[in-house]
Amino acid sequence: MLTLPTDPKLNLGNFKVKDMRILGIETSCDETGIAVYDELHGLMGHEIYSQIELHREYGGVVPELASRDHVHKTLPLINKTLVSAGIEKSSITGIAYTAGPGLMGALLSGASIGRSLAWSLGIPCTPIHHMEGHLLAPMIDDENISFPFLALLVSGGHTQLIAAHKLGEYELLGESIDDAIGEAFDKTAKMLGLPYPGGPEVAKLAEQGIANTYKFPRPMTDRPGLDFSYSGLKTFAINTFNATEKSEQDKANIALAFQTAAVDTLFIKCKRALKQTKLNQLVVAGGVSANQYLREKLGTLKQELSTNVHYPSKEYCTDNGAMIAYTGYLRLKHEHQQSLSFSTKARWPLTELHPPM
């Protein structure tokens, strides 16, 4: 990390704690997400540019292509967001950018644009943990969520159960010991010949599947603990597929059996974690939280354990700038980066975060 002196332009005395208006920049993977969150008006604008088409022919994200595209798209998307929100750049009081975890080059492009813009405007800037953004996304438009709660983070890189005690204080209760659930969805999709990203495609195909054609395992549910394993389930799907005639109906049946097993496993572990922690709110976030079967299955916890289950609205499930602007708003109320130096982290456990000072 390059260490530079405190920013001489940053006049924190002028930074009003009231009436905050935060620009959020998300560039950790294959989506450029920009948003403005205002203390009084809530989310004023948000735009997403997805690189899905760029990476589709490779069947997954190509990091160098992702970084270059963020460099091209971030500034125009900031301008577009400000225009559609009907606000001037000068009305922004702070900037939040994703600093990790994610693809290094992609993170650096958003971080350097965010920090430079903040410096030029003379306003504070704060680095945001991508998974904290996901975890808080349901709060953007649901006022009924309050700490402490149990969080289930399910994305392309994470499958985690977290006890969220307060902002910045997160206890890891369990996680996948191998593939993340989103990764298993994506790999199963690829094997079935479905395009990237595979999760929504598997879910769509599963609608045509005949229930109970195959019985897939529910990994690691027969032993105590809150960890997950998804690599075996993916292999089970591949082996099952190879033993079929590979018809469209076979594919749909496998998609359904995989999705049912993957989600049932989450359900079993969530129930266990709720009983263990005695928490009565469950917040589900990350790309896989868009899955309809997951929502239906976890919804039954309301009746079974009187647990209120919360999700982000569908547009904030996958990567977006709104969750970064909102998390930035919560953090910038208390803290800001005064130094001109910054770093990004490809790997960054959520448990390393601290509550804002």
Token readout for 87 is 């606000």
Pick between residue 123 and residue 311 the one whose CB is nearest to ligand KG4: 311
Interface with ligand KG4 (CB under 6 A), residue from 157, 209, 219, 321: 157
Say whether residue 200 binds ligand KG4 (CB under 6 A). Answer: yes
Question: What Rg, from alpha-carbon coordinates, does the chain have?
Answer: 21
Interface with Zn ion (CB under 5 A), residue from 319, 320, 321, 328: 319
Choose one: 36-44, 67-75, 164-172, 195-203; the region binding ligand KG4 (CB under 6 A): 195-203
Q: How many residues does the chain have?
A: 357
Say whether residue 30 binds Zn ion (CB under 5 A). Answer: no
112 φ/ψ angles, rounded to the nearest 5 degrees: -70, -35
Site for ligand KG4 in 52-91 (CB under 6 A): none
Interface with ligand KG4 (CB under 6 A), residue from 100, 138, 174, 287: 287
Say whether residue 174 binds ligand KG4 (CB under 6 A). Answer: no
Say whether residue 324 binds ligand KG4 (CB under 6 A). Answer: no
154 CB-near residues (< 8 Å, 6+ apart): 180, 181, 182, 266, 284, 285, 286, 287, 288, 289, 294
Site for ligand KG4 in 14-43 (CB under 6 A): 29
In whole angstroms, give the CA distance from residue 97 to residue 60: 24
Sheet order of strands, 42-50 included: 42-50, 31-38, 21-26, 94-100, 125-129
* Residue 232 C-beta: closest distance to ligand KG4, Å: 18
Choose one: 47-55, 187-195, 277-285, 314-322; the region binding Zn ion (CB under 5 A): 314-322
Pick between residue 132 and residue 319 the one whose CB is nearest to Zn ion: 319
* Residue 28 C-beta: closest distance to Zn ion, Å: 7
Choose one: 76-84, 110-118, 152-160, 228-236; the region binding ligand KG4 (CB under 6 A): 152-160
In whole angstroms, give the CA distance from residue 44 to residue 155: 26
Say whether residue 156 binds ligand KG4 (CB under 6 A). Answer: yes
Give me the DSSP letters along 80-110.
Answer: HHHHHHT--GGG--EEEEEEESS-HHHHHHH
- Stated as kind and residue range, the H or E segment containing 112 is helix 104-121
Q: Binding partner of residue 291 among Zn ion, ligand KG4, none, CB under 5 to 8 Å per kind?
A: ligand KG4
Q: Binding partner of residue 197 among Zn ion, ligand KG4, none, CB under 5 to 8 Å per kind?
A: ligand KG4
Pick between residue 45 and residue 133 the one whose CB is nearest to Zn ion: 133
Choose one: 160-168, 260-268, 298-306, 311-319; the region binding Zn ion (CB under 5 A): 311-319
Tell me the per-residue interface mask from 128 to 167 with Zn ion, x by CB under 5 A, - otherwise: ---------------------------x------------
Q: 178-214 burial by CB neighbour count: b if 16+ within 10 A, else e?
A: bbbbbbbbbbbbbbbebebbbbbbbbebbeebeeeeb
148 CB-near residues (< 8 Å, 6+ apart): 163, 164, 165, 166, 279, 281
Query: 151 near 162, Cβ under 8 Å?
Result: yes
Interface with ligand KG4 (CB under 6 A), residue from 37, 49, 149, 185: 185
Q: Which residues pair with 45 in a beta bridge?
A: 36
The rounded Cα 223 to chain-centroid distance in angstroms is 28
48 CB-near residues (< 8 Å, 6+ apart): 31, 32, 33, 34, 319, 320, 321
- Residues within the interface to ligand KG4 (CB under 6 A): 29, 155-157, 182, 185-186, 197-200, 203, 286-288, 290-291, 318-319
- Residues within the interface to Zn ion (CB under 5 A): 155, 319
